[in-house]
Amino acid sequence: MATGDGAPLGLRERKKQETRAALSWATIRLSVERGWDAVTVEDIAAEANVSVRTFRNYFSSKAEAVVARHIDRMLHVADDLRARPADEPLPEAVTHAVLARFAPEPGADRSPRSREFLSQWVKGIRLMLTEPDVQGEFFKADLVVQRELATAIAERIGTDVARDIYPSLVAAATGAAATVAMDHWLRSDPTVPIGVILSDALDRIWAGLPVP
């Protein structure tokens, strides 16, 4: 619901989604359990009941499988920005759009399914920011997200990504804030929600990084 799947997906498409999710999740789970280097693609494929070759059809590396879930999520930020009211100032609009994808509906946080999902998400983020292999993949993918966001920003303020550096700069700064926030979140008191930290980071960016 929250992700707004408009079209009624056919069986084929649904299976693909499932396989993709299963592979991604299996990669995270096994890596956390046994350590990144101790897990082979073969292990993961077996865990998800597909062949090694099929894993490769979905992801070109273990790292990509880990990052995919997060990136799929973040790709919606640009759409969220486009959906913000047109008269909202840019800083607020961007901040809201980003926060929306980091702090899901507060109501659903207690359901068992939601709990499990959250746990996966956290583990995935930890892997992304910890394991060098995955780090690289993460940033590479984040670049794509930032390009999307930059385009949406350019649309909103009526300029062009190629000519004006501003949209890309805002997108990159936003991405930087998000990464730092995630990192800080993982390293510090885990009871503070990620949304609070991220919100603070974004506010500081838009305030011109005043020395505290």
Partner DNA sequence: GGAAAACTTGCCCAGTCGGCATCTTTTCCG
Partner DNA sequence: CGGAAAAGATGCCGACTGGGCAAGTTTTCC
State how far the Cα of 125 lies from the Cα of 142, in Å rounded to an integer.
13
Residue 162: DSSP 8-state: T
**Is residue 10 a contact point for DNA (CB under 7 A)?**
yes
**Is residue 42 a contact point for DNA (CB under 7 A)?**
yes
Alpha-carbon dihedral angle through residues 206, 154, 97, 180, given to the nearest 10 degrees: -50
The count of other CB atoms within 10 Å of the CB of residue 26 is 21
**Is residue 137 a contact point for a copy of itself (CB under 8 A)?**
yes
CB of 29 to a copy of itself, least distance (A): 23
**Is residue 130 a contact point for DNA (CB under 7 A)?**
no
For the chain, the residue count is 212
State how far the Cα of 123 lies from the Cα of 30, in Å rounded to an integer.
11
**Which CB atom, from 15 or from 204, has the smaller least distance to a copy of itself?**
204
* Binding piece for DNA, criterion CB under 7 A, among 58-66, 87-95, 123-131, 196-204: 58-66
Residues with Cβ within 8 Å of 186's Cβ and at least 6 positions away in sequence, in order, are 122, 125, 126, 129
Return the residue of 143, 160, 190, 196 that touches a copy of itself, per CB under 8 A.
Answer: 143
Beta carbons of 131 and 36 less than 8 angstroms apart: yes
Site residues (vs DNA, CB under 7 A): 10-13, 15-16, 19, 40-42, 49-54, 56-58, 60-62
**Using CB under 8 A as the criterion, which residues of the chain lie in contact with a copy of itself when the complex forms?**
89-91, 132, 135-137, 139-140, 143, 157, 159, 162-166, 168-170, 172-173, 175-177, 179-181, 183-184, 187-188, 197, 200-201, 204-209, 211-212
